[in-house]
Structure 1
Amino acid sequence: MTTIASSNASFKTPWKALIEYPSAGVLSKVILQDKCCQYTLFCLAKSTEISEHTSTRNATVNVIEGRGILTLEGEDIVLEPGVFVFMPANAPHALKAEENLAFLLTLSENPQVS
């Protein structure tokens, strides 16, 4: 997997330099990955749908631009700039982009609490 930034050096860039929308579907770019987290920029074309699925890792969604609907455990959440969502591991979720939609998805380890 190719990443944009190295996990052992500081990195900064404006979102506008990284965001690009496909004519249809999803374009994703791994920004940075280390032992604990993976930071991926997702760019979805208007009307793109991602069917219900789960992840074995905890996840956060930070919406940068656009608008969509995230269905998380049966609840519809409006995604628009500035919205932050936490999804625990194994939570069923689906997504529909109502407009071109860009967000940062962060996957993190799900430590088992004893």
Structure 2
Amino acid sequence: MEQKFIKNIEFAKTLTMAGLVDYQPGRVVSLTLVQNEAVSITLFAFSKGEAISTHAAPGDALVYLLDGEAEITVGDSKLTARTGEAVVMPANIPHGLEAVDNFKMLLIVIK
């Protein structure tokens, strides 16, 4: 059997990424697709008002919004990102996210 690096989703199928996680009121829902020493790929669904508090990470993080709207803080900057937009958060720079409205994102962290 071949080693698989991606988990929790079906192989050799067309997938709608935003459909892999569902909104749940008052919660942040996540689905890990890859987690190892070099890379992390996770899908998230945030209900309106939910957040990830400001923190720093040891890798560069790319957030791609699949649906909705989020306020993203990177260092001293506050950005608004909407469906189809992406933001890169550099390694070791404090960053955080808050759901302005329900939003879904694909988070890729490279270390």
Q: TM-score, normalised by structure 1?
A: 0.81
Over 3 Å counting, the alpha-carbon distance change for 1:72 and 1:16 in structure 2 is closer
Q: TM-score, normalised by structure 2?
A: 0.83
Alignment RMSD: 2.2
Correspondence 1:55 to 2:39: no
1:1-114 mapped onto 2 (5 Å cutoff): 3-5=7-9, 12-33=14-35, 36-109=38-111
- The CA distance in 2 between the partners of 1:77 and 1:99, in whole Å, is 14
Over 3 Å counting, the alpha-carbon distance change for 1:77 and 1:13 in structure 2 is same
Q: Is the 8 A contact 1:3 1:29 kept in 2?
A: no
User: Matched residue pairs, number?
Assistant: 106
Structure 1: tracts of 5 or more residues without a match: 110-114
Q: Is the 8 A contact 1:48 1:97 kept in 2?
A: yes
Percent of paired sites with the same residue: 27
Structure with bigger strand share is 2
* Aligned AA (2:23): Y
Alignment correspondent of 1:112: none
Structure 2: tracts of 5 or more residues without a match: 1-5
